[in-house]
Structures are given as C-alpha cells and as structure tokens.
Amino acid sequence: MESNVNPFTSNLIRWAGLAAVAAGITFAAIQPTHPPDVLASVTTDVWAILTPVKTVMAFLFLVGITGLYARQAKEAGWLGLAGYLVLSVSWALNLAFIFSEAFVLPVLATTAPEFVDGYLGVAAGRSSEVYLGSLPMLFGLVGILYMLGGLLFGIATFRAGILPRWAAVLLAAAAALTPAAALLPHEIQRWAAIPVGLALAWLGYALWADRREPTVPATSGGAGATVRQASAK
C-alpha cells in the first residue's frame, strides 16, 4: 500500500477484497441454477433462499468494488474513478431490484399476480399488460451502466498495473460483450454474467493477498537528525 495509508485503512481495503471474492463467486454460481423469471417461481423455496443471497451479494459487490478502486485510485486516474462510479451506481440500482425480488414480490404474488408477472417480464424481455411506470427504463439503465462501468473499470485497472491485468482484461471483455448476450434466449443470457463474476473474484483475491507493509517515509527529524546529533557529541 502507499506510505500515507495507515495499517487500519490498509486492512479495510484488503477485507474488501474478500467481499469481492464472495460476491463474484456467488454471482457466477447462481447463474446456471437461477429459477425462471415467471410468477410460479416467486413462491418456491428456491426463490426464498436464492433472492436474499443475491441481496447480500449485491451489497458485497459495492463493498468489494470500493476496495478495488481504493487500492489503485491514484494509478487508475479519472478513468478508474469514472468506472468505479458507473459500476457502483449499476449495482446500487441492481440491489434495489433484487431486494424487491426477495422481499416484495413474494408478498404480492397472490394479491397482485399481474404486477409481479409484469415486473419479472422486464428482466425476461416480455411485454407487460400492467403499467410499471419507470421500472423498465431503470432496469435498462442498470444494464447500460453494468456494461459501461465494467468496461471502464477493467481498462483502468489494466492501465494501473496494480492488480492482475488478465483479470482486468476478462472484466472489460465480458462487460463489453454483454449487449451480445441479449441476442440469446433469456435462459442462456445469464451464463454471460459468469466471466464478470469470476473476474471480480480474481481481482478481489489479488487485493486480499496483497500484504505489502507500508514504508516509513524519511523525515527531517528522523535518522539524519540522529546522525547529526551523534556527530556533534
């Protein structure tokens, strides 16, 4: 870490790496097992277990991305800051959607099934018979920010050279190819998220494994002053 980073802050940044590892592995692992985005899934045990896990995952992503940026803020420059902000906004919005999936939709599944089906249809690309307000626009914005943020953050991380560059390449490439996944059937689209999860987990592990001790900067009252005092006696 940089010499002006105290050990407590350094440890917080390293622990944020573990958050990125946990979030990335979870993100990759849930894609093949995620239930279909249909009304019948909302009341299943799998949904009741998986969606709270996804909620925690989204929060851990925000923590992990913050740590990754903090470790290379100076070297990543304005591009790193832009990537961090865009990617963080994407996951903050995503957190709100996932929270609704976990704790709002199951309650409404029996009382307002048309709304729940329409809500799920936004992610699945189905048309809705109910008015959803700005939800479709916000969901589309999440996808755009997810793609752009991953691309910018991956490029900035590669240029900074602090964290593994191959992981940065994987993140940038996977994010850039996200729009192509929209051409695939919805049940296969989720697989396109696996490389992004693995890239962030890789970067998080590298951050956690970074155990370099901060160096003590030389000061005018340090060793030089001691030598001068000794020579004067």
DSSP-derived secondary structure for 4-43: TS-HHHHHHHHHHHHHHHHHHHHHHHHTTTPPPSSGGGTT
Whether residue 135 lies inside any domain: the answer is yes
- Give 218's DSSP letter: P
H or E stretch including 3? none
Per-residue pLDDT reduced to its tens digit, 104-129: 999 999 999 999 999 998 877 777 77
> How many domains, in total, are found in the chain?
1
Whether residue 165 lies inside any domain: the answer is yes
Q: Residue 128: its pLDDT value, please?
A: 72
Per-residue pLDDT reduced to its tens digit, 18-28: 999 999 999 99
Whether residue 56 lies inside any domain: the answer is yes
Decide if 83 contacts 149 (C-beta within 8 A): yes
Q: 96 lies in which domain range?
A: 7-232
Per-residue pLDDT reduced to its tens digit, 179-218: 777 666 666 778 888 999 999 999 999 999 986 544 344 4
Residue 37, classified by CB atoms within 10 Å of its CB into exposed (0-12), middle (13-18) or buried (19+), is buried
Whether residue 1 lies inside any domain: the answer is no
Distance CA 179, CA 170 (A): 16
Question: Which whole number is the average pLDDT over 73-100?
Answer: 96
CB atoms within 10 A of CB 182: 11
Whether residue 2 lies inside any domain: the answer is no
Whether residue 175 lies inside any domain: the answer is yes
> pTM value?
0.84
Whether residue 24 lies inside any domain: the answer is yes
Whether residue 142 lies inside any domain: the answer is yes
Decide if 25 contacts 201 (C-beta within 8 A): yes
Decide if 72 contacts 157 (C-beta within 8 A): yes
